Structure 1
Amino acid sequence: MQEDNWLAARFEENRHHLRAVAYRMLGSQQEAEDAVQESWIRLSRSDTGSIDNLGGWLTTVVGRICLDMLRLRRGRPEQAVGEHSPALTDHDVPDPELEAVQADSVGLALLVVLETLTPAERLAFVLHDMFAVPFDDIAPIVGRSPAAARQLASRARRRVQGAPEVPDTDSTRQREIVGAFLAASRGGDFEALLEMLDPGVVLRADDTVVAMGGAVAMVRGAAAVAETFSGRAKAAKLALVDGLAGLVWAHRGEPQVVFAFTVTDGRITAIQLLADAEYLREVEVTALEA
């Protein structure tokens, strides 16, 4: 019991900071509170004896939780962007650190701009530029190398500052990998697919794709995902999905299903099949082949 009380006290010492991180990530006070509460649940179930830096550990955990929430929001959006970037009143803000976020001269405007970023860009930018989290710590959260995490933050920073996007080597490499994946899928080359997939790869499909009857909600493991794609994806085309290489299946020029890829150290670690109508209206898709 004494150890539990000590852990709860240490968590409370970090609560204000975690709330500020989550609010910057999510733009919603209620979602930020939910993320912080989930971080406490995960802490209470963890072996705290192996945690050297509790504050850093909690910041990383909250980052992971927020990233999952942002990806779910983009995959199955239920609210308008503005509802995630509220103008808070004094009554709404429960602590000084969130008041500081609100009082920031670019606070609300920045939240609106952050809504235009991909979840990974937003996390990398917020954690590094606003809370000084090293890219070595950010990289495992977004499932990329430290160099790729740095590129995510740089791309986000340019968009926040209104600068034009410029290509980077990571996006070029992703295009090569996704293009090779598409070719292997079309050709039914199971071994080639297996080679490109991380052993722990996860394939997720949103509710709309599942309702189409063409996929199950989740497939785990390289062999299972390779089997799912082998000899298929013949109608899919290579495309940029929010600036990164992915695939799109379109009908009469209108995207019907978007295939979003996460590539880590040269292997595909996650694939999302997204067809929600609201998502398709928000996502930026640029075809790369006729």
Structure 2
Amino acid sequence: MAEETLSQFLDGLPEKTPQHQFVSLDDFYGKLIAHKDNEGKESFTPMIIFLNMPEERFQEMTRPSPNTELMSHFLFAYSHPLRCIILGYVSEIHRFIKDSFANLIDRKITEMGLYSEMERPGSVARSYGSVSKQPDASWTPTKARDHVVNPTLLLEIGQARSVKRMEEDARRWLTFVHTPIFNVVVVKAFDYPKIVVQIWGSFRMPQFRSAGKRIEAIITRSNGETVVERHSSAVGNPPVTMPFERVFLREKNKENPREGDFVFTDQDLQSVVESIWKAQRLI
């Protein structure tokens, strides 16, 4: 497979995303502080790019330091061969969207009586291929067969990133060599009453893993009503669903009738999305 080019790595970001040459970590942190302080200004864009960041400086950036609190306001994606890092500012609205969907997933786990079987370590950096990246949230089964200690489910929230870029990120998470990830929930929020929710899953082939979009829900507002439009290749236009086995890496316990697939009903989505729109002051 051909190495990814810089233009491919940056594809799907806002056109006016600022780019800087990496000079030093002090300069890097200073520019991040200035970027964060620009929030609310008309010229502000959530993303920021640094070119030619040496591997050693990237590794140093990821270690605990006096700047750890500053870095908690950003999520990064770093291409090791390109030495390019993309950082996305985590605004209060972004965090609210993430918490809203993460709490919905947690609620489904709790309703099955399985909260102790799943850990949510947060936006811990993971690597796929030659890229290290932080998802918004991740879930790791604690009692899976083979004592798996890697996440099986990731959550990706996007406001500035295009849907196409988020789909490509999901595909990468699911198909890199030896990936433990089986599910990616993609949530794209717009600046008007529209949110797209996608469930991506991987499929094992004899020699490789492929990935596909299992189902998509587009939630919009029309005449004062919240409308959920679902798109799926499955017969009967089912609700937004994730297979139980692909999250917990085990079969359902027949003696626990509460165990089942993750089903996000239209009512679930309407409730979560309306709370987000209220936080965005869109309704």
TM-score norm. by structure 2 comes to: 0.26
Determine which structure has the larger strand proportion and give its number.
Answer: 2
Determine which structure has the larger helix proportion and give its number.
Answer: 1
Bigger RCO of structures 1 and 2 (CA < 8 A, at least 6 apart): 1
TM-score norm. by structure 1 comes to: 0.25
